[in-house]
Amino acid sequence: MKLFSSSKSRLTAVGVLLAIVLTLALNSIVANTFRSSRIDLTAGHLYSLSEGTRTLLGKLDEPIHMRLFMSGSLRDAAPQLAAYAARVRSMLDTYATLSKGKITLEVIDPEPYSDEEDQAVGFGINRIALQGADDSIFFGLAATNSTDGKAQIPVFTPDREAFLEYDLTRLVAELGQPAKPVVTLIDGLGLAGNPQLRQPPAQIMTMLKETYDVETVTGDVDKLPDHTRVVMVVQPQQLSDRTLYTLDQWVMSGGATLVFVDPFAETQLGRGPGQLPDDNASDLDKLFKAWGIGFDVKTAVADPQNAIRTARAVAVRQIEVANYPWFAVRGDGFDHGDAITSQLQAVVLTTPGSFTATGKDVTLQPLMVASTSAGYLPAGEAADPYGDPRTLLPKIAKASTQPILAARVDGKLVSAFPAGKPEGSGNGDKPIGESVGKPNLIVVADADMLSDRNWIQRQNVLGQAVAQAFANNGDFVLNAVEQMVGGVALADLRSRTVSWRPFTRINALEQSAEQKFLAKQQELTQRVQDTETKIKSIAAEQKVKQGEVIASDTSATVEKFRAELLAARAELRDVQYNLRRDVEQLKAWIMVITVGIVPLVVAIFALVFALRRPRRPIPTRKSS
């Protein structure tokens, strides 16, 4: 009986031991075999990768080694980053697994004064100084490929958590391609400049060429340059069917395309010195109609709420007025959920158009929209460089919805060439009737936004002209190309801040007074015309001839007109005086606050510190 009991105890112990070994082995097998497998039940699908990222990872040719520098004390020093750190680590593991061995991940804890810390600094990973932490914390990523290519995310910041997959995929795409991507340009604006006119290339061209191989194509385009990743079409005019067919088929195949059209491009260069363009409007009418995109080339958008003030010659005087068709997109005008526009602050557009979706299977995802006070004007009147822009205000037709200025095109696109290749086309590919997969197409309703005048100013620094951005036009273009091509330049290496900070309250006061002044001016003009008509009518009835004395009632009418004229002018002077008084008072208060308050606060702190400082007793000499 005891023997049986002893044997049973041994079997139980062995069974328990085997169960423990089996559990540990099973956990180890599952952890290694299904490391990247998971069921994502989070509301925002934080741990799921898009199909585009999965496709990119599955087609990598270039090996990439990732180093995640993450201090072991990160979770203790910053508990609020614990969940984010776990998500970063989990997502990187998924990238490595889906790459089929092309991506290797190394997690490094850079302890203070260690070789790993020096390595992190050498790769450009930023230190994080946290309150309460004795040492600096590291939380960044450095990656290299086999051709000495390097890229990094200096620090994973919480404000970029929504774009974590975007940042990681961009880094992988940059290192996974052996050569610079090619951006093919169809340029109708003159971005390359004109040596005959001593017109230098636009700044946006210089910036694009720093990152990409930009190839400009002209004439009949039957084939795009090899290795083209993005086609950029700017101010397209009179393109042949052969070129349109090539563009159409590129878009149908899912090729990345960025289109800039304009109802009136003020900055378009002429064909030769002293020559003006034959036509300042551009459109892709044949393609847009087939693709289900509406663009009225005869209508421009005006936005009184965000209008820019420009100098105009009015009544032989140079004055500064609000130019309603020239405005800045700001704040809620951007789609902050899109990586292209998420961190932009201002984009300046001049006489832009707008888009609508006309196809039943086509939708527009707005990237930029005008304000709720925006409306429409005839493009010719909106672009008049000599008129008084204030007269346009009553002519603005209020828009029922916010005009779409730039958008992604989504849905099923139909080819503009259902019958196949046009006559003479040298394109040897088989025609594609409908878009394959999701289109990669962005349309922008203003070409002038690419010109230097819309977003940079040049200053002379030590004898050299330095370009300084006052708006984010260049960032918008680089972000769009970067995202469409898969990414080369890191967003962290470009500043998202701008130097332009308009005084919105002052602008509102000036515009309000201008509208009141304009209304009074129009009233005066109408009274003048009515009085002149009445005088002519009286003179015709009495048949007053040259040299004769004007009748007394006519003289009374003239005197009445003069009195009304003097009274109206006095009212206009009062309006102007009140305008300048309110604006100057506001400017004075701003100057007092910005210039006087800070020194005053510092002086008060210094005085309080001095009064609270204990005074030492004056030493006295002891009597001997």
| Dihedral (Cα; 194, 197, 199, 205), 10-degree rounding | -10
The amino acid at residue 347 is V
- Rounded to whole angstroms, what are the CA distances from 449 to 261, 455, 501, 611? 11, 7, 19, 58
* Residues ≥6 apart with Cβ < 8 Å to 119: 67, 69, 108, 110
Q: Give the single-character DSSP code of 617.
A: P
| Dihedral (Cα; 280, 267, 477, 456), 10-degree rounding | -160
Grade residue 240 by pLDDT with cuts at 50, 70 and 90: very high
Ramachandran angles phi, psi of 103, nearest 5°: -110, 125
pLDDT attached to residue 494: 35
pLDDT attached to residue 488: 31
- pTM of the complete model: 0.65
Residue 368 pLDDT exceeds 70: yes
**Pair 489, 482: CB distance under 8 Å:** yes
Mean pLDDT of the region 237-253: 95
* Residue pLDDT, tens place only, 434-461: 998 889 999 999 999 999 999 988 776 5
Tokens 């009085």 belong to residue: 531
For residue 6, give the H/E element and its range: helix 2-33
pLDDT attached to residue 546: 47
Provide the CB-side half-sphere exposure for 513 (13 A, CA): 21
Mean pLDDT of the region 78-103: 87
Angle 473-485/203-211 helices, nearest 10 degrees?
30
Ramachandran angles phi, psi of 6, nearest 5°: -65, -40
Residue 617 pLDDT exceeds 70: no
DSSP-derived pairing of the beta strands 355-357 and 137-145 = unpaired
Grade residue 259 by pLDDT with cuts at 50, 70 and 90: very high
**Pair 208, 481: CB distance under 8 Å:** yes
With 0-12 / 13-18 / 19 or more C-beta atoms within 10 angstroms meaning exposed / middle / buried, residue 340 is buried
Angle at 491 between CA 487 and CA 74, to 5 degrees: 110
Angle 552-591/504-542 helices, nearest 10 degrees?
170
pLDDT attached to residue 313: 75
* Residues ≥6 apart with Cβ < 8 Å to 117: 110, 111, 138
Distance CA 408, CA 256 (A): 11
Distance CA 59, CA 81 (A): 32
Joined together, the tokens standing for residue 65 give 């080694």
* Residue pLDDT, tens place only, 467-526: 788 999 999 998 899 888 763 333 333 333 444 455 566 666 666 666 666 666 667 666
pLDDT attached to residue 53: 76
More reliable by pLDDT, 565 or 211: 211
Q: Which own/partner contact pairs does 519-526 have at CB distance under 8 Å and 24+ positions apart?
A: 520/568, 520/571, 520/572, 520/575, 521/572, 523/568, 524/565, 524/568, 524/569, 524/572
Task: Choose from 21-25, 250-254, 381-385 the range with maximum mean pLDDT.
Answer: 250-254
More reliable by pLDDT, 264 or 427: 264
Tokens 């328990």 belong to residue: 16
* Of 153-157, 245-249, 283-287, 596-600, minimum mean pLDDT range: 596-600
Radius of gyration, alpha carbons of the chain: 34
pLDDT attached to residue 495: 34
Residue 297 pLDDT exceeds 80: yes
* Residue pLDDT, tens place only, 303-320: 999 999 888 877 667 888
More reliable by pLDDT, 578 or 450: 450
With 0-12 / 13-18 / 19 or more C-beta atoms within 10 angstroms meaning exposed / middle / buried, residue 246 is buried
What's the mean pLDDT when you consider all of the chain?
80
| Dihedral (Cα; 197, 202, 203, 209), 10-degree rounding | -110
Mean pLDDT of the region 403-422: 94
| Dihedral (Cα; 120, 126, 127, 130), 10-degree rounding | -140
- Rounded to whole angstroms, what are the CA distances from 568 to 393, 399, 515, 531, 565? 22, 34, 16, 14, 5
pLDDT attached to residue 321: 87
SS3 428: coil
**Pair 76, 97: CB distance under 8 Å:** no
The amino acid at residue 298 is K
Mean pLDDT of the region 558-567: 67
Strands (E), 27-112: 64-70, 103-108
